[in-house]
Each structure stands twice: as structure tokens, then as C-alpha cells.
A and B are shown apart, each in its own frame.
Chain A
Amino acid sequence: MLVSRKQAPSLKRQLWVAFLVVPPIVFMSLFVVYPILSAFAYAFYDWQGLARGEFVGLKNFKEVLFGATMAPVVWNAFLHNVYALVALMIIQNGGGFLLAWLLYKEPFGFRFHRIAVFVPVVLSTIIVGFLWKLFLNPNFGIINQALYSLGLDSWAKPWLGDSSTALGALILANAWHFVGFPTLVYLAGMQRIPSEIIEAARLDGTNEWQLLKNIVWPLVAPSTTILFTLLFIGAFNWFEIPYVMVGLDGSPFGTTDVLGLVFYRTAFGNQSASIQNFGMGSALATLLFLFIVVFASMLTLWLRRREIQF
């Protein structure tokens, strides 16, 4: 036997391992695994308010994906999640990469800027959302005020009330909030690159763009893997900023609706407009969870493959 070749671990050691392992497993099962499984089970029942009715099989799932009432709302929201993902990938992660490069080169006052870039990440999302809502207020927000004082009156808009700008405004507010995080992760990634490599490239006469594209970008691939995966998960679970800035309805007329808001409205009802349906809410949550798990895993596998050892 395998164990007999080595010394069998003593009972004391086994107890010690169990003592360390059991509490987190119990905690995880109770507060993570059990809720996920029960939400999964809820999705198969008809609900009368919060009282479980009869078993209805896949009806709730069908309703969420193809139902005449629910499906258009769900797909509309899904599309907005996709927009948010693509836009944040470029603005938040891309912006973070460029900011990290600037900080890496240690310009004047870089210590201050390194902290300044990260400060918004520490703020509560509620505060950030509220702040941006004030900035974007059409009549006394600083953004329109600034445009007026620059004489750009025609650029001023009711940002959050205009269906062509509302989602974009939410995405920018989110990017402002979180850009410090990719910056920090990329900066750490860049600092891990052995300086000989960059010096060698410089001696060979590469320009800034070639350096970034051919040396730095491939070598920070592990950071990219983490950031892209986290953003993917975050973009499909997006809730706080839209909730604070445009409310549960995805105002105006559903143009900022995202799956998180749809889920909340469906499961818990919207005080001023709708009623709660736990079964459908659970079905949506389950589908969203499966979607994220499957695609996030695929994304991670693909991103891992492009990482280079050095």
C-alpha cells in the first residue's frame, strides 16, 4: 500500500487536520452549498407568494428563457450585461493596463498617484453611485454645469434619463470606481518582469508600443487571466451601481436593465410596480449561475494557456 511505504500519519496529526478542515467545510456547506442547492430546488416549484406550491418541472426555466412576458425582459437585460462586459473590458481593464504602465515608469509623484488611483475602489458602491448620480444630474450636476461654462450647451444632456446615454453613464461610473483594481494588479505583474528583459529590449531599439505589445502584455498574462475572469463574473452579476443610480426598473424604460435587477424584481417584487415570484426568480438565478460557471471556466482555461513561464 502507498501509505505503508511512508510513515502512517499519526492520529494526533489526523485529528489536527480534521480540526482545521471541518469548520470551513461545515460553514461552506451551510452558507454556500445549501443555499445554492435550495435555490436550484425552488426553481422547480410553483410559488404562491412565498409558500411553495406544486412541483412544475422545467416550467419556470422555460418561462424565463422563452416565455412571452419574461423572455424579452431577460434577453434585453442579458444584452446590456454583454455591453457592460465588453465596455468594461476595454475601459476598465484596458485603462487599468495603461495606468499601470504609466505608474510602472515611476513618473513624478507616482507614489501619490498609485494611492489616488486605488482610493475609489475602497469607497462603498452606494456612495460612488450616489456621487455619480449627483454629478450627472441634468440641472445642477457638475458635468452639465461644466459643459455650460465651456459653452458646449448642446452637449449637455439628461444623462441618466436619456436612453442613448444612460447605460454608458453607468458603465463609466463603474469604471471610475474600479479602475484602480486592474491598475494595481497589472502594476504588480509588471514589477515581476525581470528588468533585464526590458533593458535588453530597449538596447535592441524597440519603441514604446512594441515594448508594450510584444514584451509587457504577454508577460503580464497571469494578471490578465485573473482580471478578465473576475470582470466576466462581475459584469454578469452587475447590480449595485445600476440599482443605486437608475433603480430597480432599469430606467428609462428598461434601457439600463441588467440580469441582477431582473432577478431582484422577479424574486422579491418591486414595491411600486410588480409582484414577487420566487420560482421564476430562482430559475433565473440558477441559469445565471450555470452560465457564469461554464463560461468563466472556459475563459480561464483559454487565458491560462497563453500564460508564459519565465
Chain B
Amino acid sequence: MKLTRRILMGAAAGSLLLSSGAAMAQQTELTFWSWRQEDRAFYQDTIKKFQEKNPGITVKFETYAPENYQTILSTALAAGRGPDVIQVRAYGNLETIATPGYLLALDQQNVPELANFPEASLAAETLRADGKVYAVPFAMQAQLVVYNKKIFADNGVTPPKTWDELMTLAQALKAKNITPFANGTATAWQNETIVGGLLSSMLGKEFEADIVSGKANFTDPRFVTALTKLKDVSQYFSPNFTGVDYPSSQQLFVAGRAAMFAGGSYEVANFKNQNPTLDLGVFPAPVLKAGDQHLIATYYDGGYAVNAKSEKKDAALKFVRYLATPEYGTAFTNTLKNLSPIKGIKIEDAITQEVAKLAENSMSYLMLVRFRYQEPSGSVLLQSNVQKMLAGQQTPEQAAAEINKGIATYYKPFQK
């Protein structure tokens, strides 16, 4: 008797399990990988909104440390695993993942929202070999100058328009014992952001076009002059700037001990987080002579892609399409203070608005956008040669020649 009762109970429990299993099967669970641990709250919130609109799909958000992300992701993809939805980077880094066919090609059929993105942002997520888009872009970044409005006001100065004005202003601040630029060059990649933030207007869109067509190369007078000017202004960087690394230079600015920081638009949110009392503004690189066009250097950070081997492509595409809506772009921009490239978003933050406005006149963040596909990458060359030049170990002409020599080893337009 006891035994039959047990069997019956067991069968009942079993069928209960089975039926709940069937209910589970209707739920599609997507995994979504990212390197943005610091944005977890925002992404959880986004996922909640998406799930409300799409009952039946749940999304699991997982993050990995940025320095290991590419390695972990590519290992998983190579093994035929990996998440359904992937936050990927752009340009050369995207190509390492897209070239072996790990990502699903996106077009206006499977993601109609792509029509809502500017050309340059899609180009950042396009594989050059087949011309197809592989991810929905998420943020535009700009290299420019961030300044401390209070220090400027206290000293009766305004953002400079021309290079000469910048030099006068920096001299005036230094005379009052204020460090004009917080920047240091000990961290290699900071040399590239400094070039983007300070020299873009002097280089100009035409220079970029000439580089692309091969009409000019990096020994061009425009490039050499700009480097010479950079060498001049480096006397106003942080004291002992060759030994000042990225975190130290940020701290100097956050503490309100330096007036300007040449670097990324992404610094603003970071500075504000560390010191909410900072009143900040941004301005584009100064021009050589009045009347020239002011430019900032822009690039796109990365995008959201779908794993080509995912068994839940439909659900994954739904999620990626949601990440391409103006609603999402607005939330992204206002929460993370990073400019979404989606057209028609509403920006609340004043500085982000300013960056968006400046971005109407911009050139590419040259080495990242165009020369980070082959070795030696333009970024490696620019970073180390500018670092060497600013340390006084080579002249601007030598730096330009070295950069050019490296790129010419593989860049066809320079080989003519």
C-alpha cells in the first residue's frame, strides 16, 4: 500500500515537473555579453523594458573585464559557443570577429531601424571585405578639450578660438600657478587622444580626404605643422608630463588643479562622477588662423551584434532592433551621458547637447577609424612617435616620417 502511494506521488510530481518544463520551453532566454560592468544597472533596466514589450523573451546580461573581453569572446566564438547578443567593438577590432563569420550580417530587412543611423556610424560596424553591417552602433565619441568653467571664469578667460589665443591663455594661467592642461604622456594611448583633441582643426577635413585618396601622406606640411604646435603647447601640460600617467592626469583635473583636459567626450561623465561640483564645458581644437573651420575628431565605440550560430536568432534580432530605437537611444544618452548615434533622440544633458552640436563639424579620429586594420597600426605609430617627440627625443619632422614609413608598408595609396 505504502509503496503504491509513493509511486503515485512520484508520478504526480514528475508530471508537474514535465508540465512546468513545457511552460519553460516557450520562454526564450537570450544571453547578452558586454564589457561594461559599470553600466550594469542601465542595461538591466533596458532589459526590463524590453521584456515588458516582449513577453516570452528573457535576456541574461553578463559582463567581462574590458582588457580580457576580446580574448574571452573570441575563444568562446571559436569554440562555436558564445552569447546570442554580443556587444562588439568597431573598426579593426570588429573585423577580427566578423571576418571568420561569427556574426550575423544585418541589413534593413532584418533590422529596419538601421535606416535611422548616420552613414559614418554604420561604416564603423561594416566589414570592409564584404561591405555588410554587422552591428547596431551604440555610441559616438569625440576627442576635444574639456575645460573647468570655474577656473576660466575666475581668471577672466574664455575658450580660445585660435591657436595663438590658446597659447596666450595657457601662459596666463601658468603665470597664476594653475596647470593649464592636466594631460600627461606616460600612458601611450593618451598621446593619440591628445592629438585628436588639440590638432583636429589644424589638420582639417581636407587633409583626411587627401590621406584617403593618397594625394598627401603623413609627411605633409599640415601634419608636421600640427605636431610642431603640439610640441609648443606641451610646455603647458602637467608638470613632469612625460611621467604622468592617465589616472594621475585625470586626478589632477578632477581635483580642480588644472584648467583643461585634452581628450575624450567620455571623460566628462567620469569627471562629474568623481567630483559632482565640477562645472565643465567643452570646446573644439583651436584653428591655426581665424576663419578656418573648427573640428572635433569623432569615432564610434562599437555596437550590438547577433551571433551567427545562435539558435535563437529571431529573439536576438528582436532585442537588437529594440537597441536601435530612438527610445533606447534617448535612455542611453541621458543615463550614460554618451551620445547615441540614433537620429531623433532627445538629449537632456547640456554638455552632451554641446558635443552633439560640435559633432556636426568633425573629422575622423584618424588612426582608429582608418589605420587600425594592419600592423604596424597607425595608432601604435602615432602613440609612440608623439610620445617620443614630446619627450624631446625626436623632431616633429622625424615623428611624421616614422609614422609615414610604418603606414606605407601596407597602405597602397602611399606606395605610389
Contact = CB atoms under 8 A, between A and B. Distances in A.
B276 interface: no
Contacts of B185: 161, 252
A139 B240 contact: yes
Contacts of A50: 74-75, 77-78, 96, 100
Contacts of B46: none
Nearest to B99: A48
Contacts of A247: 187-188
B387 interface: yes
A275 B372 contact: yes
Contacts of B387: 251-253
A10 interface: no
A277 interface: yes
Contacts of A94: none
B391 A163 contact: yes
B100 A271 contact: no
Interface string A258-280: 00000000001111111111000
A229 interface: no
A49 interface: yes
B121 interface: no
B326 interface: no
B55 to A, nearest CB: 36
B33 to A, nearest CB: 15
B242 interface: yes
B243 A160 contact: yes
B179 to A, nearest CB: 10
A161 B242 contact: yes
A52 B5 CA distance: 59
Contacts of B102: 51
Contact of B188 (A68, A273, A275): A273
Contacts of A137: 243-244, 248
Contacts, number: 135
B14 interface: no
B243 A162 contact: yes
Interface string A25-63: 000000000000000000000001111000000000000
Interface stretch (B56-64, B226-234, B377-385): B377-385
B92 to A, nearest CB: 5
B375 interface: yes
A181 interface: no
A49 B96 contact: yes
A261 to B, nearest CB: 11
Interface in A54-104: 68-70
A283 to B, nearest CB: 14
A178 to B, nearest CB: 24
Interface string B342-376: 00000000000000000000000000000011111
Nearest to B66: A271
Given A49-B100, A275-B377, A249 B243 contact: no
Given A162-B242, A163-B391, A253-B388, A274 B409 contact: no
A218 interface: no
Contact of B187 (A158, A163, A251, A274): A251
A120 interface: no
Interface in B69-110: 70-71, 74-75, 77-78, 92-93, 95-97, 99-102
Size band of the interface chain B makes with A: 35 or more
B256 to A, nearest CB: 15
Nearest to B391: A252
Contact of A49 (B74, B242, B375, B393): B74
B375 A69 contact: yes
Nearest to B73: A50
B100 A268 contact: no
A272 B379 contact: yes
A272 B188 contact: yes
B189 interface: yes
Contacts of B372: 273-275
A137 B238 CA distance: 12
B391 A49 contact: no
B305 to A, nearest CB: 14
Contacts of B77: 50
Contacts of B74: 49-50, 276
A239 B203 CA distance: 38
Nearest to A265: B380
Contact of A268 (B66, B71, B379): B71
B380 A253 contact: no
B384 A51 contact: no
Contacts of A274: 372, 375-377, 379-380
Most-contacted residue by chain A among B95, B96, B372 (CB, 10 A): B96
25 contacts: A48-B100, A49-B97, A49-B99, A49-B100, A51-B102, A133-B245, A136-B243, A137-B244, A138-B239, A139-B248, A158-B240, A252-B387, A253-B393, A254-B384, A268-B70, A271-B66, A271-B70, A271-B93, A272-B189, A272-B192, A272-B379, A274-B372, A274-B379, A276-B74, A277-B375
Interface of B: 66-67, 70-71, 74-75, 77-78, 92-93, 95-97, 99-102, 184-189, 192, 238-245, 248, 372-377, 379-380, 383-385, 387-388, 391, 393, 406, 409
Given A51-B78, A69-B376, A139-B248, 7 more contacts: A48-B99, A158-B242, A158-B243, A161-B241, A269-B96, A270-B380, A273-B192
